[in-house]
Amino acid sequence: MYLKKLTSPSAPNLNNIRLITLNQLKIDKKKLGEGEFATVYAAKLILGDNSDKKFPVAAKILRHSIEYVRF
């Protein structure tokens, strides 16, 4: 058996990152997961002027609480 060492890629390519607005995101009430700092919900990303282009995505909602701030 031969094992190939995995190496981390170089810096990530950030050229294809797209900022979205809250108007483009419809967050469902279906909770997918929960952690100490955030909850993940099922959501739909709406692209274009018409709302027929909807893509399933996950939306991570961070909790806003001073108790999570660590110094």
Q: Tell me the pLDDT tens digit for each residue of 1-45.
A: 566 555 666 777 778 888 888 889 999 999 999 998 899 999 999
* Residue whose pair of structure tokens reads 């170089």 in the numeric block: 10
Q: What local confidence, expressed as pLDDT, does residue 21 receive?
A: 87
pLDDT at 31: 95
Which band of pLDDT confidence, cut at 50, 70 and 90, is reported for residue 71?
Answer: very low
Q: How confident is the model at residue 58 (pLDDT cuts 50, 70, 90)?
A: very high
Strands 25-34 and 54-62, sheet pairing: unpaired
Please report, for the chain, the start and end positions of each structural domain, with discontinuous segments joined by +: 22-64
Q: Please give the backbone phi and psi of residue 22, each rounded to the nearest 5 degrees, phi first.
A: -65, -25
According to the annotation, is 60 in a ligand binding site? yes
Task: Record the pTM.
Answer: 0.62
Enter the tokens of residue 26.
Answer: 């419809």
Identity of the residue numbered 17:
I
For tokens 């997918």, the residue is 32
58: its two tokens? 């996950």
